[in-house]
Structure 1
Amino acid sequence: MSRASQHPKAETFNFRIDPALKFAFTQATESEDKPAAQVLRDFMRSYVERRNRKAFEAEARRQSQAAAARAHDPRSDEAQSLKELGTVFDEDHFGDEWKA
């Protein structure tokens, strides 16, 4: 009977490291009773998540700037939407809360 695992087969990642850094890292992980490999995997996941978040934020910024640039054209959908929002805020009592 084959063994079923919820984790895919792991791969090895080899790299060179300064012996003093390896010793210090090993001491730090042992003092926290954590396997060094697990800490490295956590660092890698964090790095990938941070990179993905930065890429997402950069794309959101690009799209926002593009929409803002289009809003300068009074015939654009963006300009029309902003005009409609302004009208809604002017008509509602909560509108003053949102004005800068």
Structure 2
Amino acid sequence: MSKQVVFTIKLEPELRDTFMAEAAADDQPAAQVMRELMRGYIEQRRQAREYDAYLRRKVEVARADKTAGRGFSNEDIEAEFSAARDELGQVV
């Protein structure tokens, strides 16, 4: 990747000094560490957006199923699992 721009940010002197010292302790240029941090942040945000979209789709499908009458009531689920627990209790 070619270097085409300079990115300037304002930070507290203590934060900059500590960051520079840690990068030096790892034998890495500060710019390389910043690029890695930025790439990690970008990937984290991309994954968060994808997960949010996934959840929205799941909720939309569930709502459509409920509206179409394809869902189960809480009472139906409780009765089914109560029967399953009773059956398992008899097996043990």
Taking structure 2 as the reference length, the TM-score comes to: 0.69
| Distance apart, 1:52 and its partner CA | 0.9
In structure 1, the gaps of 5 or more residues are 1-6, 80-100
Question: Which of 22, 28, 31 is matched with 1:34 structurally?
Answer: 28
Work out the percentage of aligned pairs sharing the same amino acid. Answer: 28
C-alpha distance in structure 1 between counterparts of 2:14 and 2:3, whole Å: 31
| Distance apart, 1:34 and its partner CA | 0.6
Q: Which residue of structure 2 lines up, in the alignment, with residue 60 of structure 1?
A: 54
User: Structure 1 or 2: larger helix share?
Assistant: 2
In structure 2, the gaps of 5 or more residues are 71-92
How many residues are matched?
Answer: 69
Q: Which residue of structure 1 lines up, in the alignment, with residue 45 of structure 2?
A: 51
Taking structure 1 as the reference length, the TM-score comes to: 0.63
Cα RMSD, aligned residues only? 1.3
